[in-house]
Amino acid sequence: EPEVTQTPSHQVTQMGQEVILRCVPISNHLYFYWYRQILGQKVEFLVSFYNNEISEKSEIFDDQFSVERPDGSNFTLKIRSTKLEDSAMYFCASRSDRESSYNSPLHFGNGTRLTVT
Protein backbone atom coordinates (compact mmCIF):
# COMPACT_ATOMS: atom_id res chain seq x y z
CA GLU A 1 0.00 0.00 0.00
CA PRO A 2 1.44 3.43 -0.93
CA GLU A 3 2.48 5.56 2.01
CA VAL A 4 3.64 9.03 2.95
CA THR A 5 7.35 9.06 3.79
CA GLN A 6 9.14 11.62 5.92
CA THR A 7 12.81 12.32 6.51
CA PRO A 8 14.62 12.55 8.80
CA SER A 9 12.86 10.55 11.50
CA HIS A 10 14.63 12.59 14.17
CA GLN A 11 16.31 16.00 13.94
CA VAL A 12 18.20 17.74 16.72
CA THR A 13 19.05 21.38 16.21
CA GLN A 14 20.20 24.37 18.20
CA MET A 15 17.92 27.30 18.89
CA GLY A 16 18.08 29.86 16.09
CA GLN A 17 19.10 27.38 13.42
CA GLU A 18 17.11 26.66 10.27
CA VAL A 19 15.64 23.22 9.69
CA ILE A 20 13.99 21.65 6.66
CA LEU A 21 11.67 18.72 7.13
CA ARG A 22 11.01 16.61 4.08
CA CYS A 23 7.99 14.65 2.94
CA VAL A 24 7.11 12.56 -0.07
CA PRO A 25 3.30 12.38 -0.30
CA ILE A 26 1.45 9.50 -1.94
CA SER A 27 2.02 9.88 -5.66
CA ASN A 28 -1.52 10.49 -6.91
CA HIS A 29 -2.52 12.76 -4.04
CA LEU A 30 -3.06 16.46 -4.61
CA TYR A 31 -3.71 17.92 -1.16
CA PHE A 32 -0.82 18.17 1.30
CA TYR A 33 -0.71 19.14 4.94
CA TRP A 34 1.67 19.69 7.82
CA TYR A 35 0.55 19.04 11.37
CA ARG A 36 2.54 19.07 14.59
CA GLN A 37 2.11 17.32 17.92
CA ILE A 38 3.91 18.56 21.00
CA LEU A 39 4.62 15.69 23.38
CA GLY A 40 1.46 14.70 25.23
CA GLN A 41 -0.72 17.19 23.39
CA LYS A 42 -3.13 17.08 20.48
CA VAL A 43 -2.38 16.99 16.78
CA GLU A 44 -2.44 20.62 15.57
CA PHE A 45 -2.93 21.86 12.01
CA LEU A 46 -0.18 24.04 10.57
CA VAL A 47 -0.78 24.46 6.84
CA SER A 48 -2.48 22.97 3.81
CA PHE A 49 -1.19 23.13 0.25
CA TYR A 50 -2.92 22.59 -3.06
CA ASN A 51 -2.13 23.45 -6.66
CA ASN A 52 1.30 24.81 -5.71
CA GLU A 53 0.07 27.27 -3.16
CA ILE A 54 -0.97 27.50 0.47
CA SER A 55 -4.72 27.05 0.75
CA GLU A 56 -5.03 27.52 4.50
CA LYS A 57 -2.76 28.11 7.50
CA SER A 58 -3.19 28.29 11.25
CA GLU A 59 -2.05 30.91 13.73
CA ILE A 60 0.92 28.69 14.55
CA PHE A 61 2.20 29.01 10.98
CA ASP A 62 3.84 32.41 11.35
CA ASP A 63 6.59 34.06 9.31
CA GLN A 64 9.17 31.61 10.65
CA PHE A 65 7.50 28.80 8.71
CA SER A 66 7.36 28.18 4.98
CA VAL A 67 6.41 25.31 2.73
CA GLU A 68 7.55 24.39 -0.72
CA ARG A 69 7.00 21.75 -3.35
CA PRO A 70 10.34 22.02 -5.14
CA ASP A 71 9.69 19.18 -7.59
CA GLY A 72 6.95 16.72 -8.47
CA SER A 73 7.43 14.52 -5.44
CA ASN A 74 8.79 16.39 -2.40
CA PHE A 75 6.93 18.65 0.00
CA THR A 76 9.03 20.50 2.56
CA LEU A 77 8.48 22.48 5.75
CA LYS A 78 11.14 25.02 6.66
CA ILE A 79 11.52 26.67 10.05
CA ARG A 80 13.85 29.63 9.63
CA SER A 81 14.98 30.27 13.19
CA THR A 82 13.95 27.50 15.55
CA LYS A 83 12.77 28.15 19.08
CA LEU A 84 12.66 25.78 22.03
CA GLU A 85 8.87 25.63 21.75
CA ASP A 86 9.14 24.30 18.19
CA SER A 87 10.20 20.95 19.66
CA ALA A 88 7.48 18.54 18.55
CA MET A 89 6.63 15.70 16.20
CA TYR A 90 5.88 17.09 12.75
CA PHE A 91 3.54 15.04 10.60
CA CYS A 92 3.08 15.39 6.88
CA ALA A 93 -0.23 14.18 5.43
CA SER A 94 -1.75 13.90 2.00
CA ARG A 95 -5.20 13.31 0.57
CA SER A 96 -6.49 12.07 -2.73
CA ASP A 97 -8.47 14.24 -5.10
CA ARG A 98 -10.20 11.24 -6.62
CA GLU A 99 -12.32 10.34 -3.65
CA SER A 100 -15.14 12.64 -2.74
CA SER A 101 -13.67 15.64 -0.99
CA TYR A 102 -15.94 15.14 1.96
CA ASN A 103 -14.92 11.64 2.96
CA SER A 104 -11.33 11.30 1.90
CA PRO A 105 -9.15 10.72 4.94
CA LEU A 106 -5.73 12.18 5.52
CA HIS A 107 -2.88 9.71 5.20
CA PHE A 108 -0.09 10.56 7.62
CA GLY A 109 3.63 9.95 7.43
CA ASN A 110 5.53 8.55 10.42
CA GLY A 111 6.65 12.00 11.44
CA THR A 112 9.88 13.84 12.17
CA ARG A 113 10.69 14.33 15.82
CA LEU A 114 12.28 17.79 16.07
CA THR A 115 14.25 18.57 19.21
CA VAL A 116 15.46 22.15 19.66
CA THR A 117 18.17 22.61 22.30
Residue 108 touches other proteins, criterion: CB under 8 A: yes
In angstroms, what is the minimal distance from the CB of 58 to other proteins? 8
Q: Name which of 110, 68, 65 is nearest 89 in CA terms.
A: 110
The CA distance from 46 to 90, in Å, is 9
Residue 56 touches other proteins, criterion: CB under 8 A: yes
Q: Among residue numbers 1 through 30, which ones bind other proteins (CB under 8 A)?
A: none
The CA distance from 33 to 14, in Å, is 25
What is the binding site for other proteins (CB under 8 A)? Answer: 31, 33, 35, 41-45, 48, 50, 55-56, 89, 91, 100-111
